[in-house]
Chain A
Amino acid sequence: MSGGRAVHGEVRAVLCRAVELYRGHEAGHALRQELDRMDGPLRVAVAGKVKAGKSTLLNALVGEEIAPTDAGECTRVVTWYRYGQQPRVTLHPVTGPLRQLSVHREHGALRLELGGVSPDTVDRLTVDWPAASLRDTVLIDTPGVASASTDIAAHAVRFLAPEEGAGDADAVIYLMRHLHSTDVRLLESFHDNAIGRGNPLNTVAVLSRADEVGVGRLDALQSAHRIAERYRSDERLRGLCGTVVPVAGLLAQAGRTMRQQEFAALAALSGAPRSVVEGALLSVDRFTSATQRVESALGVPAAHRAALLDRFGLFGIRLATVLLRQGFGQPHELAAELVRRSGVDELRTALVTRFTERRDLLKARAALLALDDVLRRYPHPDAELVSRAVERIQAGAHEFAELRVLGALRVGVIGLAPEAGREAERLLGGLGCQPWARLGLGADASRPQQRSVAMAALQRWQARAEHPLSGRASIDVARVVMRTCEGLCRASDTGGPGAKRLSFPSG
């Protein structure tokens, strides 16, 4: 939606007042942190079961190997990756002062050593890194849930779905290999503590390790797309996450960080006789320990092949050699095609439409939650004004109403006809917050065109709201959608060339 710029401002003002009020109080520190958080970038947690590929995906999103990955269970503490001029690693112990850790790189990949500190005593690690993609988002890597080491798993659950308070993450990317009942339980637990309880809007589910579906056949990604499609229409998942995207994390990571030497090796492989290459690519063992004859035919030494396998996976190598034969002959072409096929771009788009465009709103919502929590737990004699303002924003802000209705629509508690439900979802910004996206038009739709479509929608929903047979819940939805449509009409009326945002009078 408008990104909630206006609401953001209002919430910020109230928060400032609360900070003044609680100055010197034990809750004051938490509130000030909340204020900092409102002004900071969006915090997106990468969560999922153990070995779902969380760190790999994080690397693919950042475009550098900064999250350590390993065959065994690897991430043991919650790690924050944020933008910084200089690479720096800071350890936040549960008690005691912060500690700087040494920045240690190995083959271009960052190694995180806790320096002899037990993971139990570490609250989190913070990695500052000069990567452009971290400028407007803080990515948070979490240990796997359902880990066989129960305390690591407990750590992750505590971070993602704390017993009290709003939690540290504004939005969640949830990774799963297949939809397991544990995954559903976990996704449910994320929502138990949010304002719009059961609100699936700040969660995007990722079908990770998509390259391993169907034992790494070349059509694995098509299969993965089919599976994701099925999950998207699954009623149980609809209420828990905004969308499901298949991503081959390893492929994306390798594509984005491909080195010249690797390209050379891949090119050599694709140039070798096809039967030899295919024979060697039957299994990982055949590929790494080929016979002398095969080795000379492949033209790549064993050590390089092992490294290649590590970085690309069997599927990645198979795909890369096929692509090279198809004529993606330049390193940048190959890398781009690998990234494109990995599905990470779709994930980025989903993140932009679902998180970034709604950034201010999500932040405002998180702040409001925290403020509400403080007000309830530490009643203050002079807080009357502040709590009334909080209540007013919660009840009045149209953006929150939109979020609430969207959530309710996705959970499916409102008895709208399916196509009406889909239209409402689109208008409320479920598929993207830009006016044209809400109206179901292309990005190049002209203003008058937008206006006429918005007017038509407004009339439709007005009719629904006034229809005598409409139920209470559907009338509520229709009213909220009407208001959105009004906003859309106004935006297409008044907005200058640059005004793509919507705004609403608040209250």
Chain B
Amino acid sequence: MTRSAAIDVVDIAIQAVTAYQRDDLHERLDRTRTRLADPAARVLVVGEFKQGKSLLINSLVNAPACPVDDDLATAVPTEVRHAERPALVLVEQPDPNSPRLRRREVPIDHIGRYVSELGDAADRRAVRHVEVGLPRSVLAGGLCLVDTPGVGGLDSAHGASTMAALPGADAVILVSDAAQEYTAPELEFLRHTVELCPNVLCVLTKIDLYPDWRRIAELDLARLRAAGIEAKLIPVSSTLRQLAISQEDRDLNIESGFPGLIDYLRTDVVAIQDRLADRSAAHDVLSVTRQLAGSMTAELAALRDPAGTESLMADLARATERVEKLRTRSARWQQTLNDGVADLGADIDHDLRDRMRAILREAETHLDEVDPTTVVDEFGRWLNQRVSSAASANFVWTSQRVRYLATQVATHFGVDSATELPQVRGRAPESAIAQADAFALPAAEKFGVGQKWITGMRGGYGGTLMVGMASTLAGLALLNPLSVAAGLMLGRKTVKDERKRLLQRRQAEAKGAVRRYVDDVLFQLGKESRDLVRESQRELRDHFTRIAEELSRSLSESTLAAQRAVSVDRSDRDRRIADLEAELARVENLAGTAVELAESAGFRPLPERVPSDQFSGTLAVGAGA
């Protein structure tokens, strides 16, 4: 079933809840509809540098969207997505002290300046990522390809940021060329990736160049199996693909392996994304219809069998009581959530502090051994890299913990957690690091010739005077060879001491600067992660409160309906029964459409595990379905 079909079903459901004046359910369906209307499947293209990632994307979309060079690598993440006309948008952070991002459109042929290592680093400084829009049918289904800076390049602190982008991706393509089988770092990277984003595809590039690519593919698959990673491997050749397009050669295109890759992206990424969206839409509609049907079936049961009203009311009361418990502030799930968040906050903070402390200690040992002025650049780079990778690791861990907490809370509702959990998508930690003042070593105090001279003279003067005075006792002049020698010696010593003192001072100052920097980063990151936890808490709380409220309202409607039924006249009763049966049939019909939608998405809805079930025993009395 297509995307519009899912939207149609949701629209019908919205009409239904409007008719029954259930504005709480209306809100929920509205959100579902917005989600469906904006399709996007983010596919991250990752891998070590110089494996052909950019060329792969270019060949996929048949346009020079990402600059390609034999030597220089991609430096800034590039998002390639569908657009009516070619467009290049820079997403910049103009002021490093504020997290506000600015979007700026620039001519598309300037891309090299902002994306490749070839460009001016000053041009790139503020650029967080760039978005390229292209009118290509491959991208039309909502596919968004993200070219990432390679892992392992010398100038890339990027590995960490790639990691941080993973939780937000719907699929990941790992690119590795056919020159060799997977190396240890690549497998390590894959293992991490699978934890954060299970939909992984391995692409083997440059198969036109390496005679033994089939062997390499086998070896790679064996390594994947040994590592317990389930992923498909597609061998491709970008060179052949580009040639095929320019010569319009169908056979060559098939040889290039790209049709397989595009198929995969269509069926296993975009379509799965669509199906997931369909499934959650169907799920929402089903849950809504069940709640609507609840009150009707209760009333119907009461009308048909007035004698049984008593026990029906008792059942409803019991169910209401249970739901009311979920609604109170002291509900068990609230406790789980609050405890979980408190633990999470403490753990994350501790983890962050621990990581930073390790870096600080390492930096201090480092600084003890060298003269800080000689290593300013390397040291700054090293520090920055360590800090950002620690921040990313902490951030990834936080997202995982939040997701785990959500499943924990969900168990209280008996909710099928996979579909019903709210998406908690955080921000990448770079912005927080960028907000911290940039690390800079304090300017070294100059110890030039002038100062040396003065310092030396000062020491020498004292020495000459001391020994000179003493030697006057022996009848020598104040300035005699002895006193001059002593002056020279002491002068030299003073200069040497001064130099040593200055070095120690520089080291101490550098350490101070590192401490201040790490403190600053901790401050900003701490705020960021506290915000993240707080936001997640709010989101989870709202989500589950909403569910509890919907359930409660449905039950109270059912109770009201049943009560109404008792007081109805015999003459009205039959008419009312007919009315209710007709309406119930309509609702059942809608539920049937939703089930169809879910089934066409490849998932069987499991009525036993949807939220209202714990009460279905009571509510479904007499219901045919």
The distance from the CB of B80 to the nearest CB of chain A, in whole angstroms, is 21
Q: Which residues 202-228 in A have Cβ within 8 Å of B in the complex?
A: 209, 212-216, 220, 223, 226-227
Which residues on A sit within 8 Å (CB–CB) of B243? 282
B182 at the interface (CB under 8 A from A): yes
Which residues on A sit within 8 Å (CB–CB) of B52? 215
Select the residue from A215, A227, A313 with max chain B CB neighbours within 10 A: A215
Interface string of B229-247 (1 = CB under 8 A from A): 0000000011110010000
B313 at the interface (CB under 8 A from A): no
Closest A residue by C-beta to B186: A148
The distance from the CB of B543 to the nearest CB of chain A, in whole angstroms, is 42
A424 at the interface (CB under 8 A from B): no
Q: Which residues 364-378 in B have Cβ within 8 Å of A in the complex?
A: 374, 378
A288 at the interface (CB under 8 A from B): yes
Inter-subunit contact B154/A181 (CB<8 Å): yes
* CA gap between A209 and B177 in the complex, in Å: 13
* CA gap between A230 and B153 in the complex, in Å: 15
Q: Which residues 226-243 in A have Cβ within 8 Å of B in the complex?
A: 226-227, 230, 236
A293 at the interface (CB under 8 A from B): no
Set A73, A146, A282: member contacting B240, Cβ < 8 A: A282
Which residues on A sit within 8 Å (CB–CB) of B180? 50-51, 73
Inter-subunit contact A286/B255 (CB<8 Å): yes
The distance from the CB of A230 to the nearest CB of chain B, in whole angstroms, is 7
B120 at the interface (CB under 8 A from A): no
Closest A residue by C-beta to B215: A71
Set B209, B213, B223: member contacting A216, Cβ < 8 A: B209
B327 at the interface (CB under 8 A from A): no
Set A50, A71, A180: member contacting B48, Cβ < 8 A: A180
Set B70, B185, B255, B449: member contacting A469, Cβ < 8 A: B449
The distance from the CB of B186 to the nearest CB of chain A, in whole angstroms, is 8
Interface string of B174-205 (1 = CB under 8 A from A): 00000111111101000000000000000000
Select the residue from B180, B182, B206, B238 with max chain A CB neighbours within 10 A: B180
B219 at the interface (CB under 8 A from A): yes
Closest A residue by C-beta to B237: A283
Inter-subunit contact A177/B179 (CB<8 Å): yes
Given the contacts A71-B212, A284-B207, A148 and B70 also touching, CB distance less than 8 Å: no
Which residues on A sit within 8 Å (CB–CB) of B252? 282
Set B49, B185, B215, B239: member contacting A178, Cβ < 8 A: B49
Set B50, B183, B215, B237: member contacting A146, Cβ < 8 A: B183
B569 at the interface (CB under 8 A from A): no
Inter-subunit contact B185/A230 (CB<8 Å): no
Which residues on A sit within 8 Å (CB–CB) of B49? 178, 180
A153 at the interface (CB under 8 A from B): yes
Chain A contributes a number of interface residues (CB within 8 A of B) equal to: 45
B208 at the interface (CB under 8 A from A): yes
Which residues on B sit within 8 Å (CB–CB) of A315? 209
A182 at the interface (CB under 8 A from B): yes
Which residues on A sit within 8 Å (CB–CB) of B219? 72
Inter-subunit contact A148/B152 (CB<8 Å): no
* CA gap between A490 and B509 in the complex, in Å: 49
* CA gap between A216 and B210 in the complex, in Å: 10
A124 at the interface (CB under 8 A from B): no
Inter-subunit contact A182/B152 (CB<8 Å): yes
Which residues on B sit within 8 Å (CB–CB) of A184? 154
Select the residue from B152, B187, B238 with max chain A CB neighbours within 10 A: B152
* CA gap between A51 and B215 in the complex, in Å: 14
The distance from the CB of A146 to the nearest CB of chain B, in whole angstroms, is 5
Which residues on B sit within 8 Å (CB–CB) of A220? 70
A444 at the interface (CB under 8 A from B): no
In the complex, how many residue pairs between chain A and chain B have their CB atoms under 8 Å apart?
Answer: 107
Inter-subunit contact B152/A72 (CB<8 Å): no
Closest B residue by C-beta to A309: B211
Inter-subunit contact A283/B154 (CB<8 Å): no
Set A73, A153, A223: member contacting B181, Cβ < 8 A: A73
B216 at the interface (CB under 8 A from A): yes
Which residues on B sit within 8 Å (CB–CB) of A182? 152, 185
* CA gap between A181 and B449 in the complex, in Å: 41
A285 at the interface (CB under 8 A from B): yes
Chain B contributes a number of interface residues (CB within 8 A of A) equal to: 40
Inter-subunit contact B70/A213 (CB<8 Å): yes
Inter-subunit contact B153/A181 (CB<8 Å): yes
The distance from the CB of B49 to the nearest CB of chain A, in whole angstroms, is 7
Which residues on A sit within 8 Å (CB–CB) of B123? none
B71 at the interface (CB under 8 A from A): yes
Inter-subunit contact B208/A314 (CB<8 Å): yes
A150 at the interface (CB under 8 A from B): yes
The distance from the CB of A247 to the nearest CB of chain B, in whole angstroms, is 15
Select the residue from B52, B183, B213, B237 with max chain A CB neighbours within 10 A: B183
Inter-subunit contact A215/B153 (CB<8 Å): no
Inter-subunit contact B71/A226 (CB<8 Å): yes
Q: Which residues 349-386 in A have Cβ within 8 Å of B in the complex?
A: none
Inter-subunit contact B185/A146 (CB<8 Å): yes
Inter-subunit contact B240/A72 (CB<8 Å): no
Which residues on A sit within 8 Å (CB–CB) of B210? 71, 284
The distance from the CB of B201 to the nearest CB of chain A, in whole angstroms, is 20
Closest B residue by C-beta to A308: B211
Inter-subunit contact A284/B213 (CB<8 Å): yes
Closest B residue by C-beta to A469: B449
Inter-subunit contact B184/A178 (CB<8 Å): no
Inter-subunit contact A284/B209 (CB<8 Å): yes
A113 at the interface (CB under 8 A from B): no
Inter-subunit contact B179/A148 (CB<8 Å): no
The distance from the CB of A96 to the nearest CB of chain B, in whole angstroms, is 31
The distance from the CB of B214 to the nearest CB of chain A, in whole angstroms, is 9
A179 at the interface (CB under 8 A from B): yes
The distance from the CB of B487 to the nearest CB of chain A, in whole angstroms, is 19
Which residues on A sit within 8 Å (CB–CB) of B153? 178, 180-181
The distance from the CB of B378 to the nearest CB of chain A, in whole angstroms, is 8
* CA gap between A315 and B209 in the complex, in Å: 8
Which residues on B sit within 8 Å (CB–CB) of A147? 183-184
Inter-subunit contact A282/B208 (CB<8 Å): yes
* CA gap between A479 and B464 in the complex, in Å: 31
Interface string of B46-63 (1 = CB under 8 A from A): 001110100000000000
Inter-subunit contact A51/B179 (CB<8 Å): yes
Closest A residue by C-beta to B185: A146
A163 at the interface (CB under 8 A from B): no
* CA gap between A223 and B69 in the complex, in Å: 10
Inter-subunit contact B184/A146 (CB<8 Å): yes
Q: Which residues 59-78 in A have Cβ within 8 Å of B in the complex?
A: 71-73
Which residues on A sit within 8 Å (CB–CB) of B215? 71-72
Closest A residue by C-beta to B449: A469
Interface string of A444-487 (1 = CB under 8 A from B): 00000000000000000000000011000000000000000000
* CA gap between A20 and B49 in the complex, in Å: 55
Inter-subunit contact A50/B449 (CB<8 Å): no
Inter-subunit contact A310/B211 (CB<8 Å): yes
Inter-subunit contact A283/B183 (CB<8 Å): no
The distance from the CB of B472 to the nearest CB of chain A, in whole angstroms, is 33
Which residues on B sit within 8 Å (CB–CB) of A227? 70-71
Identify 6 residue pairs between A and B in the complex whose beta-carbon atoms are under 8 Å apart, listed by A's number.
Answer: A73-B181, A178-B153, A215-B238, A215-B239, A282-B252, A284-B208
Shortest 9 CB-CB distances between A and B: which pairs? Answer: A71-B212, A51-B180, A283-B208, A214-B70, A223-B70, A284-B211, A227-B71, A71-B215, A309-B211
Known: A227-B70, A236-B378. 19 other contacts (CB 8 A): A71-B210, A71-B211, A73-B180, A148-B187, A153-B184, A180-B152, A181-B153, A181-B154, A182-B185, A209-B179, A212-B206, A216-B209, A282-B243, A284-B208, A284-B209, A284-B211, A286-B255, A306-B211, A468-B449
* Chain B residues with a Cβ under 8 A of chain A: 48-50, 52, 70-71, 152-154, 156, 179-185, 187, 206-213, 215-216, 219, 223, 237-240, 243, 252, 255, 374, 378, 449
